[in-house]
Chain A
C-alpha cells in the first residue's frame, strides 16, 4: 500500500492558463474525493467519485473546474482560465466503501499547491 499520490506537488501558473492535476488513489479504493484548502482554513469539499461516477459536486466547483475518473482508478482535476483566487492546496483522498454503513475512512494525499500569478 503506497498511499494516495498526487502530481505535481507544486504548480505555478499565470492567470488565464489551464492546469491539470492528477491523483492516484490507494489501489482498490472505489471512492475518490477532491478538496481545496486555502491558507489558514480547513479543507473544503469539491467533489467525489464512486468508481467512475461523479456522485456529488460542491457549489465551489464552478464551471471552470472539471474532474474526471475515466476508468475508476486515477482522477484528474482541471481548472480552466485560472484566476488568482484559485491559488490553494488541492487535496485528494480515497476510501473503500463496500456496503452501506458508517462513513468510510478517507486517506489523504500530500496535495498539489497551486499558485496563480
Chain B
C-alpha cells in the first residue's frame, strides 16, 4: 500500500537558520508529490508540487523541495526561516493510478526560536 513517512514529529529551528523537513514515500512507481502547510485555524495551503521533469522544485514563500528517486524522498528546504513559518507541514502523494486521492503523511510541526 502507498504510504508517506515524515520521521520528525516536531522540529525547532532558530529564526534565520536553514530548514530541512524529511519525507519518504513508499510506492511502486513515482507518484505525484506535494508539500502542504497548515497554520492554526487555516486551511491547507499548497507550497509546491512535483509531477515530472526537474527534480528541484521551487514553491511559494521561499520553499523548495528535491525529489530523489533512489531514496524515495522528497525533502522540503528553506535557506532562512522566518517566525511566520511556524506551522504544521504535510508531505503528500497522489498515486498515478488514482490522480485524485491524496495520501498525506502525519505531519511535522515546525517551531521557530526567536
How many residues belonging to A are interface residues under a CB distance threshold of 8 Å?
28
Sample of 20 further A-B pairs with CB below 8 A, known A43-B102, A103-B99: A33-B102, A35-B102, A42-B104, A45-B101, A45-B102, A45-B103, A56-B101, A91-B43, A93-B44, A102-B51, A102-B52, A103-B102, A104-B99, A105-B46, A108-B43, A108-B44, A108-B45, A110-B41, A110-B42, A111-B43
Q: How many residue pairs bridge A and B at CB < 8 Å?
A: 64
A3 to chain B, nearest CB (A): 8
Known contacts A41-B107, A42-B105, A42-B106: A110-B43 contact under CB 8 Å: yes
Distance, CA A106 to CA B100, complexed state (A): 9
How many residues belonging to B are interface residues under a CB distance threshold of 8 Å?
25
B1-15: CB near A (< 8 Å → 1, else 0) gives 000100000000000
Chain B residues near A3: list those with CB within 8 A: 43
Distance, CA A33 to CA B43, complexed state (A): 14
**Chain A residue nearest to B44 in the complex (CB):** A108
B67 at the interface (CB under 8 A from A): no
Chain A residues near B100: list those with CB within 8 A: 31, 33, 48, 55-56, 97, 103-104
B85 to chain A, nearest CB (A): 19
**Chain A residue nearest to B49 in the complex (CB):** A105
Chain B residues near A48: list those with CB within 8 A: 100-101
Distance, CA A55 to CA B41, complexed state (A): 30
Inter-subunit contact B99/A102 (CB<8 Å): yes
